[in-house]
Structure 1
Amino acid sequence: MLAIKSVAEQVFTALAYHKRPMLAYHVFFSLLALLALSPLAGWALAGLIELSGYSMLGNEDLVRFLATPLGVAWMIAAASVFAFLLFFQAAGMLLIAARNQDDVFHTASNALWQVLKRFRQLMKLAAMQVVCHLLLAAPSVIALVWLFQWLLGGYDIYYVINAYPTELFYFLPMAAMLCIALLLGNGLLYASWSLALPAMLLDGYSPRLALTRSWQLIKGARFQVARIILFAALFTLLLPILFTVAFDALGSALMAWLPGPLILQVTLMGLLIVIYVLLAVVLAFFAVGVNSLLLLKLYLRCCGHQPTPLTELEPRTTARLAWAFEAALAVIAISQLVWIAHSFDERDTVSNIAHRGASWDAPENSLAAIAVAIEQGADYIELDVQQTADGTLVLLHDRDLLRVAGDRRAIWDIEYDELAQLDAGSWFSVEFADQRVPTLEQAIELIRGRANLYLEIKTAPQMPNLVADTVAELQRLNFVEQTVVAALSPRVLNQALALEPDLRASLLVHTAIGTMAGHPYDMLGLRDGIVTPSQVRAARRSDYALHVWTVNNRRDMHRFIDMGVDGIITDVPALLTEVMQERNELNRSERLLLRMRHWVW
């Protein structure tokens, strides 16, 4: 009934025939989304977060927030907005390729107007599908969480990631089956409702009836439809990925091979960036166009209609739209180039923050790792503090000693005298067999006068006095001015600052939603995957220093320095020292070329 080859031929024929107005609509939609839809959606979602009482959500607060009715509403709203934007773009493409009641094709501007008139219907359709998909996924997600807690909940997550306990190999196949069930169920539901959009647009169904109509049309052919849609999705997803990989390889090869003066290299780099942006926009259009036309052709087939003949001339002039599209592409490309140039920061120095010491060269949080990090030029030594059963402050990341000493006991269940006898270095290398879990006092005395301390307080209910005792120890050792206290929880930092207002504080953020403003901290420590130039600028406006973690390769170090971050947390402080020395030896033009090269390649 539904042959992939036959449908693909019709889709690509229609795309070739309608490419001009569809390209123009793609530009219209992109500009509308950039200037109006995305900002409005962002403001609305930010308003929901503001109602929650948080201005920025990290890991702990994010989980707590999403577990509330307001958090569930935010999640549904965010997913609905994303689905709505996809429907909005696909709807215009679909209308352009289908004749209206007067048996003529829609122009790009007319299609945009028709879609705008159906704004509420599209939003309702998106919200209905999102809610149903979330409800269908909920049992599998709950079962996945329960399975993890049952098999691996007794381990520290860092131990699971690095040591691969036996229970992990029981968990993975069962988790895979749950994920397959989740994907299969939601995939079939998506396929069953895939024709709701054309049903609503072309035959005037309400969102609810359009979903019912789609279900009826695909009944008996769900696996065939799912196969075609999955094939198209994989094709359109892989195409830009392959393009990016190929273009990166080409750019790297050209920049490595090209001799001659610096101005020639800078010119070529700028030209490559413009070409990259232009091709990326075209590929984005191609992906959306293929998927939109696929929905149209499937709908016509399932309804029993013959495909619309494409031999007659389109009743519109496309030349001006084509020129407008090409001009818009040029403006976008130039804007991207200007944006990249303005994203660079003139400063070339950052704080070198050694993550748990030089943890690639010595056991993490050990005195050896601290000593090596200082020798490698670290400005700050980032360490993790916890508390033993008898109240001694010690340096340890995990909640138990399984990974570093082979002891399953939690740190709060062992007294320091016994802890001091355990080998905490052989797990890394036999040459560090003499290393023990050090106390905070030992670390401070080693650091004093040679570097500063970046101290993450790893709280747990079993250590109720940890924050107060840590602050008291910093005060006793007269090391407050040389210390930055850090935590994933704002409550921990607020408690520390209440006890010692002169402390500097850094909020560590793995995942963030919301704005940066409103926190009484000196610094934000963001995971490398969520740091963007706009966040750097927002941190400047809010008077925060911005640190990024954990960055361990040369290219990313260059990129974050170019963004203008204030500090880089790394496991290899020697590499960051080397990178900064290299940059200090370059002139302004060479530095510009380096920035452009590391930004793109």
Structure 2
Amino acid sequence: MKNPTSPQLRNLIRLFRQNWSCLAVTDVAFKVLAFVALVPIVAALFRGFVAISGRKVLADQDILAFVLSPTGGIAIVVVGAIWIAILALEQSALAAVVFFRTDSQRLTTRQALLFAAGHAWPVLQLTGRMVIWTILAAVPFLVVAGIVYWSLLTKYDINFYLTKKPPQFLAALALGAVIGAAFLAVFLRILSGWIYTLPLLLFEHVSPSEALSLSGKLAAGRRKTIVAWIIGWGAANFGISLVAAAIVGGIGTLLIIGAGSVLALVLIATGGILLLGAVVNFASTLLSTTTFAVMLVGLYQTLDRKDHKTAKVTYKEESSAGRFLLKLTRRRIVFGSLLALLVAGGIGAGLLQSVQFEEDTLITAHRGASAAAPENTLASIQGAIDEGADYAEIDVQETRDGVVVVVHDSDLKKLGGPGTKIWDATAEELRKVDIGSWFAPQFSEQRVPTLAEVLSLAKGNIRVNIELKFYGHNDRLEERVAKIVEEHGMQDDIIVMSLEQSMVAKMKSLRPQWTVGLLTAVAKGDLTRLDADFFAVNLNMADRSFIQTAHDRDKQVFAWTVNDPLMMSTMIGRGVDNLITDKPALARSVLEQREEMSSVERLLVDLGGNWSEAVDPDEEPVTQ
């Protein structure tokens, strides 16, 4: 028995082969226009919604608060609809190229773009409806997920569940997987019902609401086939991207080996690798967007409906850009190769300029030397001193009786203690808990230290980075920390940071001369414009652009939590001011090794770090 999808697949391949040049040129032209005109509009609109909420920049907890607010909800619908509309307009232009193709004529790129522009308003209306329906479909699953989380994962601090993985955590994971799979099934069903919506809107002049309704009716009885096509399209493009990345990596390895230790050759080779990678990545994106348009039109045309009127368009000759793609002469190939060589050399030279030759990165021991001793204990602080760290980072909270203690989580459950919240216990009650045996028997005498005890140990031995924890139960934490620091004469040997912007602002107002920073893992907007002396960011945020922007504004960048030696070297090469790590001795060793490296060796190490995994997959998850 013949596979019914085989003729359809051959038809889609035929459509793609007939239209690939015009599709490619049209997609490139649309992406350029979108980058120049449409994307800035979306960004400005989002910033407007953020400004209405009273914030300039959203970081970490602010993002969740914004999303749950009425303004944030409206922003999600409006900005989401416009953003998806941009993608839909791109598909509209590409679909027009395929749909209006005849044996002798085809649309020009200009005609396809004008066709899409003429349908901008109905497309925006359509995507707005899609966003709203998607949100409504997701709400029940989010509610159930919230109930699961609240029922199973809120009794103790979340870090206990992430680290110890008790049965409740595994049950929550299993239920989460079921909820996620159920939502995916529902979403694929919804998506399959929308597959004909855009062609109906574009080619049959129906309204957005009619297009959604009619598409659902036409998809009835075909949903499994449609879902199979969508999954097949995604899998094929993903596979092609993986193969392309592997080929680029192989070529890069050969080029680097061939370049040897000659700096000029290494620069050209590395620049060429990055250029080739960018071209391949862009080509993969082009392939996925153009093949989706072909699939969209191909599936629509198989309906073979006779009772509808389609849109009309005036044909012209193929665009000159399309003809250029089909006529790659020897002269053009030579010219393109020379241009690529110059660009590769320029990229390589830029890389060389970005490599740090005078490196003064400092090392911070995360919760003390927490890879060698239990976190936030006097033993881990002593370990940080012994391992040569410049700073020991600690977390502070207030107890019920107003004592500032050094604890990261909201309770001691992860450390083998009770689930009592820190703010509900007295300092004396916390002192009775063994917080070291969970790590190793020799640390059984370790107890929850006070900030005063840590500063006494640190004075004259190591500087301290004090993180102000925020669980919504602070009383006078900022004032108490300032008083304790000054009582120990450590004003010049401490810095302060917090996830909560209000705590950063309050500490800065209390002690304007102190160095106070914002800690964050995610942000929306230009983080460097916030009033903070430094930014302690997740290493995924610490790219060259962010670091350079912060430095241009006289603000430092700390990267956390970096435990992999190659990534440590990469962060140092990018110019971070401070590495926050569980392994300060390893970080010190990396710094010493980089001092002995040549410029070529540093360049290759930094390039390798950009391609590596940021965190060792065998390590426990780290939360700041």
Q: TM-score, normalised by structure 2?
A: 0.88
Distance in 2 of aligned mates of 1:390 and 1:586: 53
Selected match of 1:435 from 442, 446, 449: 446
Amino acid aligned to 1:532: D
Give the match for residue 63 of structure 1.
64
The correspondence of residues 200-599 of structure 1 with structure 2, limited to 5 A, is 200-245=201-246, 247-248=248-249, 251-252=252-253, 255=256, 259=260, 261-304=262-305, 315-316=317-318, 318-322=322-326, 338=346, 342=350, 344=354, 346=356, 348-516=359-527, 518-599=529-610
3-state SS of paired residue (1:569): strand
Amino acid aligned to 1:88: L
Q: Conserved in 2, the CA contact under 8 Å of 1:484 and 1:505?
A: yes
The correspondence of residues 137-152 of structure 1 with structure 2, limited to 5 A, is 137-152=138-153
CA shift in 2, pair 1:262/1:514, >3 Å:
closer
Amino acid aligned to 2:436: G
Shift of 1:263: 3.5
Distance in 1 of aligned mates of 2:142 and 2:453: 45
Shift of 1:219: 1.6
Q: Conserved in 1, the CA contact under 8 Å of 2:365 and 2:384?
A: yes
RMSD, matched Cα: 3.0
Shift of 1:522: 0.4
Amino acid aligned to 1:319: R
Query: Which range moved further: 332-341 or 202-211?
Result: 332-341
Query: Which range moved further: 543-552 or 256-265?
Result: 256-265
Structure 1, gaps ≥5 residues long: 306-312
Shift of 1:396: 1.0
Amino acid aligned to 1:320: F
Distance in 2 of aligned mates of 1:576 and 1:502: 29
Q: Conserved in 1, the CA contact under 8 Å of 2:384 and 2:584?
A: yes
3-state SS of paired residue (2:540): helix
Aligned length: 594
Q: Conserved in 2, the CA contact under 8 Å of 1:278 and 1:330?
A: no
Higher relative contact order (CA 8 A, sep 6+): 1
Give the match for residue 308 of structure 1.
none
Give the match for residue 133 of structure 1.
134
Shift of 1:484: 1.4
Distance in 2 of aligned mates of 1:331 and 1:592: 23
Shift of 1:141: 0.7
Q: Conserved in 1, the CA contact under 8 Å of 2:379 and 2:446?
A: yes
Distance in 1 of aligned mates of 2:544 and 2:221: 50
1:265-312: per-residue Cα shift (whole Å, max 9, x none)?
33332222222222222221111111111111101112447xxxxxxx
Query: Which range moved further: 52-61 or 103-112?
Result: 103-112
Shift of 1:134: 0.8
Q: Conserved in 1, the CA contact under 8 Å of 2:268 and 2:341?
A: no
CA shift in 2, pair 1:467/1:31, >3 Å:
same
Distance in 2 of aligned mates of 1:331 and 1:52: 48
3-state SS of paired residue (1:18): helix
1:538-564: per-residue Cα shift (whole Å, max 9, x none)?
323443212221122123223333333
Distance in 2 of aligned mates of 1:321 and 1:492: 58
Distance in 2 of aligned mates of 1:429 and 1:55: 46
Shift of 1:368: 1.8
Q: Conserved in 2, the CA contact under 8 Å of 1:218 and 1:302?
A: no
Amino acid aligned to 2:559: V
Distance in 2 of aligned mates of 1:156 and 1:329: 58
Amino acid aligned to 1:492: M
3-state SS of paired residue (1:481): helix
CA shift in 2, pair 1:517/1:595, >3 Å:
closer
Distance in 1 of aligned mates of 2:424 and 2:520: 29
CA shift in 2, pair 1:335/1:35, >3 Å:
farther
Query: Which range moved further: 290-299 or 12-21?
Result: 12-21
Q: Conserved in 2, the CA contact under 8 Å of 1:27 and 1:328?
A: no
Shift of 1:256: 5.9
Q: TM-score, normalised by structure 1?
A: 0.91
Query: Which range moved further: 58-67 or 32-41?
Result: 32-41
Q: Does 1:175 align with 2:176?
A: yes
Structure 2, gaps ≥5 residues long: 307-314, 613-624
CA shift in 2, pair 1:260/1:332, >3 Å:
closer
Amino acid aligned to 1:185: V
Shift of 1:183: 1.3
1:311-340: per-residue Cα shift (whole Å, max 9, x none)?
xx9953632255799999998997788568
Distance in 2 of aligned mates of 1:52 and 1:139: 27
Query: Which range moved further: 528-537 or 546-555?
Result: 528-537
Shift of 1:37: 2.1
